[in-house]
Structures are given as C-alpha cells and as structure tokens.
A = this chain, B = another copy of it.
Amino acid sequence: MSFCADQLARTTSIWELMLSHRFLRETRDGSIAHETFANWMRQDYLFVEAAIPFIAALIPKAPRAHRVALGKVIPALETELELFRERAEVAGVSLDDVTPSLINHGYVQFLLASAYTRSYAEAFTVLYVAEKAYYDSWSVVRDGIDKGSVWYPFVENWTSEAFKGWVEFLQRELDGLADAAGPAERQRMGELFELTAKYELAFWEMAAGGASWPGLS
C-alpha cells in the first residue's frame, strides 16, 4: 500500500470529521451566515498570504525536479489572493486590518517551522495534507452549492482540474519520497500527516466558531 493510501486510512476518523463539518455543509446548502463565511474568508486570506513563504522555504531543500513546480506555486498563490480581494469586494467583506486567530496563526507557524527544521520529505508531507484537505473539503461543497452563490468561485478554485492535478502530483511525489526514506523518517512523516489533518479540522472549527483568542474577551 502506498504511503498516502496508508496514512489516509490510518487517519480516516479525522477526515470524516473534517468532511462532514458544519461549515462545509452549510456553505454547500446555502444556509451559512454571511458573517460566518466572511470570517473564514478573512482568516484564509491571511493563510494563503502566509503560504507563500512556506513554499519559498521549501525550495532550497527541494530536489532539482521539484524546484520548478514549487516556483510556479508562488505566482499561483498571488493569483489566489486576487480572487479573495475580488470576492471580498463583491460580497462587501473587508480584508483590511485582519489579525489571525490562534488556530490560523499556529497553523501558519507550523508550516514555516516544518520547512525550516524538518527534512524535505517531512515538510512535503505537510504541504500535501494541506492541499489534499482543501481539495476534498471543497469537493464536498461543490456537490450541492448553488452555482450562483457569491462564494462559488472559491469552490471552483479548489476543485478545478488544475488543482486536482496538483494534488495528484503531490500525492505521487510524496509516495516516492516515502519509498526512498528510511523507517525513522517515514515514521515522522506519518506523525506530521496526522498533525496536519488535525490542524485542518481545527481550521474549520475556527471558521465556524470565530477568530477570538482563548481567554481574551
């Protein structure tokens, strides 16, 4: 069994909680409160912005063959930020002066610290799970959302053929990196796989529940 298949099976219960999350269900059904979706938008805008340094920090450790692919992600993320700004204007959401929630901030720091302190295969695991989680999550929303919804362009973005191909590329490459790794490194890759899935689930909780910091207010 490939590394990814194995890990996805091992962490099924987390993926089920993620993919059945009320934030995704309510976005799909159109019952989500405007302010709830706006909260996600503001937080995810910061997250995408912070993903650029993460990708950049992977490049010096990447094998030659991955450098070109990762180099192309940076302008793609800049384009994604434009999508947020465009939607924000259409939906009347302000992206100014947003500060990250604890979950958002901690997740971003996790991406960065993984890129700096972990082996390439380990940090690449984190990248894969984050992208896979978004593809799967927005695929849930796609199956039912009104195409006229103001939020529909986000669904299109993360369920497009291009994004699907990117996630499949990451999966193939991650399987290859896991095959080449020794058992101790593969063990650490598995731990990071689970940890990233837990952050993704926590991100939806925060999207649905609000961005306040624990103990504050």
Seen from chain A, the residues whose Cβ lies within 8 Å of a Cβ on chain B are 14, 17-18, 21, 49, 52-54, 56-61, 64, 67-68, 71-72, 74-75, 78, 102-103, 105-110, 112-114, 116-120, 180-185, 195, 198-199, 201-202, 204-206, 209, 213-216
Contacts and interface: CB of A to CB of B under 8 A. Distances in A.
Most chain-B CB neighbours within 10 Å: which of A17, A58, A102? A102
Contact of A216 (B14, B54, B180, B206): B14
A109 B110 CA distance: 5
A25 B31 CA distance: 43
A54 B113 CA distance: 10
Contacts of A61: 117-118
Nearest to A18: B215
Contact of A103 (B102, B114, B195): B102
When all copies of this chain in the complex are counted, the total is: 4
A61 to B, nearest CB: 6
A208 to B, nearest CB: 9
Contacts of A213: 198, 201-202
27 contacts: A17-B215, A21-B215, A52-B59, A52-B67, A52-B71, A53-B59, A53-B60, A54-B60, A56-B56, A56-B58, A60-B112, A60-B117, A67-B74, A74-B74, A102-B106, A102-B198, A105-B106, A105-B110, A106-B106, A106-B109, A106-B110, A109-B113, A112-B117, A116-B117, A180-B182, A181-B182, A201-B214
